[in-house]
Structure 1
Amino acid sequence: MQDTAGAATGLRERKKERTREALIDAAQELFLRKGYDATTIDEVVASVDVSRRTFFRYFAGKEEVALARAIEFEGLFLEALSIRPADEAPLTALRRAGRAVVSEIDHEPGNGSGHEFLRMRSLIEGTPVLLAASLRNAMELERRMTLELARREGLDPDRDRRPALLVTLYHSVMRVAMDEWTEAGILDGAHLMRTIDAAWDDMAALLDSGWTTSGMARPETDPGFE
């Protein structure tokens, strides 16, 4: 009896996951073809042959389904970061967590989540309501990354700003690399990782060059701030 019940539960969960994935795929295909504002929830559910009630079991609305792949990516990254070895330096942990997620996504059948994430990126950036929501999600991701780094290092993030500063640096480098990768149009994980590594090499050279440090004295030592 228990085995039968467990199998039934597993079947229901797989069916729910298939429905959720079908809704995401249908919504994003419509958004890319018709535009976000011109697409209705009724059109999304009709494409999957489910009801509006079913849609709202999975998503609060169009905004959430449009950002679903990006949210999945963020979740994978946080999970990968949380299991990095405790003795890794903070930046090493961040970079290796990111590499692990890119590798996992790149090896999915059909390059699913990674490809969809890239296809949606320009749409999100060109749609004000989605861009605003995406920026809110990015801020929350940075907050959670900061908390995780502080936990790993035994720091109080309210008293020690180093985890927050490092997370901000990490996201800045990643944003530049992602923009370059998107513009290049070579949609594979190996090229993305090469682009990210090159961006980090440039950041290291920049910090070592002295170009950024010459103006980093405290403002009160500069007469212009008086």
Structure 2
Amino acid sequence: METLRERKKRRTREALLRAALELFTTQGYERTTVDEIAEAVDVSQRTFFRYFAGKEEAAFAVQTMTEDRFLAAVRARPPHEAPMTALRQAFLEGWDAIREHVEEAVPVELYLRMYRTIGSTPALLAAHLRRSVAIEETMARVLAEREGVDVDSDPRPRLAVAVFGGVMRVTERQWSTGDDLSPEAIRALTASYLDQVGSALTGNWGGD
């Protein structure tokens, strides 16, 4: 049970997060200051730094939430599942819970705008690429642990994660620039693209 103090702290953090993303997506990440974010929520700069180490942490807070939930879902998959199946089902079956967790903090529409802002802001894009490398390494180690292999001598965990991560990046880019921005659309698109991995890697692409 969440205490009154814990609920107040969560609401303050969520208000700061929403204010930060709104400012980042409307006036630009580089032009937004911590003071402006704090002022939008009527709190002090010191309060902002109680919840976030800086602007970059706020910019990626929602992505961190989704990554943490996804990793937990992978760890919870049945041990008999093949690695790629575990990754696939962790996303597809866990998507509703991940989406609901995100929507408790920010609207999906705002999350999508921030995704586009990251892609168009050099400093954020560079940070996003660094974070992607780190999360993929963590995922590879999770797979290696559940399969009982050594990630440093067996390349398969990193290869599986690289393939899965590539599919997710293509899916997110296609979804974010399409007409249907519903949560159902990204889940369907992800399933469709994952279904094509085998033929894309091993099949012939030539037409008749």
Structure 1 position 74 matched with structure 2 position 67: yes
Equivalent residues in 2 for 1:32-181 (5 A)?
32-107=25-100, 112=106, 114-181=108-175
| 1:106–1:68 distance in 2 versus 1, CA, 3 Å | closer
The DSSP-based 3-state class of the residue aligned with 1:184 is coil
1:102 and 1:166 mapped to 2: Cα distance?
20
2:11 to 7, 14, 18: 18
1:117 shift after superposition: 2.7
1:179 shift after superposition: 1.1
User: Contact 2:139–2:161 at 8 Å: present in 1 too?
Assistant: yes
The DSSP-based 3-state class of the residue aligned with 2:80 is coil
1:85 shift after superposition: 1.0
Q: How does the TM-score come out when normalised to structure 2?
A: 0.91
Which of 202-211 and 132-141 deviates more?
Answer: 202-211
1:186 shift after superposition: 1.4
Structure 1 residue runs of 5 or longer lacking an equivalent are 1-6, 212-226
1:166 shift after superposition: 0.3
The CA deviation string for residues 158-201 of structure 1, in whole angstroms up to 9 with x for no partner, is 11010000000000111111111111131212111111122122
Identity of aligned pairs, percent? 45
User: Contact 2:136–2:161 at 8 Å: present in 1 too?
Assistant: yes
1:102 shift after superposition: 2.1
Q: For residue 219 of structure 1, what is the aligned residue in structure 2?
A: none
User: Contact 1:177–1:196 at 8 Å: present in 2 too?
Assistant: yes
1:101 shift after superposition: 3.5
Higher relative contact order (CA 8 A, sep 6+): 2
Opposite residue 119 of structure 1, the aligned amino acid is R
Opposite residue 27 of structure 1, the aligned amino acid is A
1:78 and 1:121 mapped to 2: Cα distance?
20
1:113 and 1:184 mapped to 2: Cα distance?
18
1:31 shift after superposition: 1.1
User: Contact 2:88–2:194 at 8 Å: present in 1 too?
Assistant: no
Structure 2 residue runs of 5 or longer lacking an equivalent are none
Superposed CA RMSD in Å reads 1.9
User: Contact 1:82–1:148 at 8 Å: present in 2 too?
Assistant: yes
2:61 and 2:156 mapped to 1: Cα distance?
30
What is the count of residue pairs matched by the alignment?
A: 204
The DSSP-based 3-state class of the residue aligned with 2:79 is coil
1:31 to 19, 24, 35: 24
1:65 and 1:78 mapped to 2: Cα distance?
20
User: Contact 1:69–1:116 at 8 Å: present in 2 too?
Assistant: no
1:168 and 1:182 mapped to 2: Cα distance?
21
2:152 and 2:58 mapped to 1: Cα distance?
34
2:58 and 2:195 mapped to 1: Cα distance?
36
